[in-house]
Each structure stands twice: as structure tokens, then as C-alpha cells.
């Protein structure tokens, strides 16, 4: 297992995935887990409830279950979140939901790649990255893009445990160290 599907979030993710698979509910549960992750990302109020340790378990149950019901989430997701709350892991819910997505992708044979660039990639650049990854043997890759102007240019690509750093910033650092060694 990689970092996204390991540890505590990975154990919860595997449990939810396997339970949904056993009940033939993957087509229902996976989109709902993704929708709940988006809801958490978009709602500062919900994030406050998730992270507030002053709220007791009963209060968390009532608040979160009310949100889930109002948003139309199914029974399996609601029960799962209830277990997360009872086990005092509500603050980890967003990471657990990310692990659910990663676990599902891994089960489908997909790999996630993070591509960091100094500027937003164009469609042609995105296609080029996709084809380069396919040449390297990564045929089923979900690419997540991030923009970081501090790398100056080039790309940093992280696929699973592998890091390919071809950024201008790291090239300059290597050149700096080489020049120091030559002096």
C-alpha cells in the first residue's frame, strides 16, 4: 500500500470499500464518498465541526448525521461516518475519504500521479506528460496538477513512491553544489 492508502485512513478506506463491495453498493458508495469529500472541502463550517475537539461524540453524531441526511447521503455512508465518530476519528474523516478514492483507484489498477509545474499546463503539455508516463509503463494514471511558481520551470512528477524532479530550481541547486565541489 502506498501512503494514500496506508495507516489509519487506509484501514478505514479498505473496510468501507470491502463492505460496499460485499453489499453490491460500490456504485452508490464511491460517488457519495467523493461528494462528502467535496462537501468537506467546500464547507468551512463542516470542517470546524470535524476538527472541534470540544464537541462531544453525541453532539458530533447529531450535527454530522443531520448534514448527511439533509444532503441525501445513503445509509451505508451515514453508518460509516457514525463508526468514525464513535471511534473518535472524525478529525481524520477527510483523509479517510481521500484514502477511499485511492483504494478504489488501486483496485481498478489505476495509479495517481502528482505533477507540479511553475504554471498551469496547457492541453498539449498535459497530453505530453500522459504519453511520457505511458511510455514509462504507467498506462492507467490519474494526474493531479499543482502549480508552484517557486520551481521556476520544468516539472516535478510523483508517481507512487517515485519522484522525478526535472525542475529548474533543482537543476540550479545541483549546479550550485557542483560548482562548490569544483572550487
Residues 37 and 101 in one domain: yes
Do 17 and 85 belong to one domain? yes
Q: Residue 2 above 70 pLDDT?
A: no
Percentage of the chain with pLDDT > 70?
96
Task: Tell me: do 87 and 165 sit in the same domain.
Answer: no
User: For the segment 100-155, what is each residue's pLDDT rounded down to a tens digit?
Assistant: 988 888 888 788 788 999 999 899 998 898 888 888 887 778 888 889 999 988 99
pLDDT value of position 54: 86
Nearest-CA neighbor of 64 among 76, 45, 54?
45
pLDDT at 1: 46
Give 5-69 as a DSSP string. Answer: GSHHHHHHHHHHHHHHHHTT-HHHHHHHHHHHHHHHHH-HHHHHHHH-TTS-HHHHHHHHHHHHH
Q: Are residues 168 and 118 in the same domain?
A: yes
Same domain as 90, residue 34: yes
Which has the higher per-residue pLDDT, 81 or 161?
A: 81
**Residues 150, 69 share a domain:** no
**pTM assigned to the model:** 0.66
Q: Residue 183: what pLDDT?
A: 61
* Count of structural domains within the chain: 2
The answer to whether residues 142 and 102 belong to one domain is: no
pLDDT of residue 4: 55
Range of the domain at 61: 3-106
Q: CA 123, 126, 129: angle at the middle one, nearest 5?
A: 150
What is the sign of the dihedral through the CA atoms of 100, 102, 103 and 105?
A: positive
* Residue 161 and residue 89 share a domain: no
> What confidence tens digit (pLDDT) does each residue in 28-61 have?
999 999 999 999 989 888 888 888 888 888 988 8
Q: Judge if 123 and 66 occupy the same domain.
A: no
Q: Which pLDDT band holds residue 5 (cuts at 50, 70, 90)? A: low
149 and 80 within one domain: no
- Indicate whether 78 pLDDT > 90: yes
Residue-wise pLDDT tens digits, 81-92: 999 999 989 889
Amino acid at each position: 500500500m502506498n501512503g494514500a492508502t496506508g495507516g489509519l485512513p487506509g484501514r478505514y478506506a479498505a473496510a468501507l470499500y470491502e463492505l460496499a463491495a460485499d453489499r453490491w453498493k460500490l456504485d452508490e458508495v464511491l460517488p457519495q464518498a467523493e461528494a462528502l469529500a467535496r462537501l468537506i472541502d467546500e464547507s468551512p463550517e463542516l470542517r470546524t465541526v470535524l476538527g472541534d475537539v470540544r464537541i462531544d461524540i453525541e453532539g458530533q453524531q447529531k450535527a454530522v448525521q443531520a448534514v448527511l441526511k439533509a444532503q441525501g447521503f445513503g445509509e451505508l455512508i451515514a453508518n460509516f461516518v457514525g463508526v468514525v465518530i464513535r471511534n473518535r476519528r472524525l478529525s481524520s474523516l477527510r483523509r479517510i475519504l481521500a484514502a477511499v478514492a485511492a483504494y478504489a483507484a488501486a483496485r481498478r489498477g489505476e495509479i495517481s500521479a502528482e505533477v507540479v509545474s511553475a504554471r498551469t499546463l496547457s492541453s498539449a503539455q498535459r497530453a505530453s506528460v500522459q504519453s511520457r508516463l505511458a511510455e514509462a509503463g504507467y498506462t492507467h494514471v490519474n494526474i493531479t496538477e499543482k502549480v508552484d511558481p517557486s520551481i521556476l520551470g520544468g516539472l516535478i512528477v510523483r508517481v507512487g513512491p517515485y519522484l522525478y524532479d526535472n525542475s529548474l530550481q533543482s537543476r540550479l541547486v545541483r549546479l550550485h553544489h557542483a560548482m562548490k565541489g569544483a572550487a
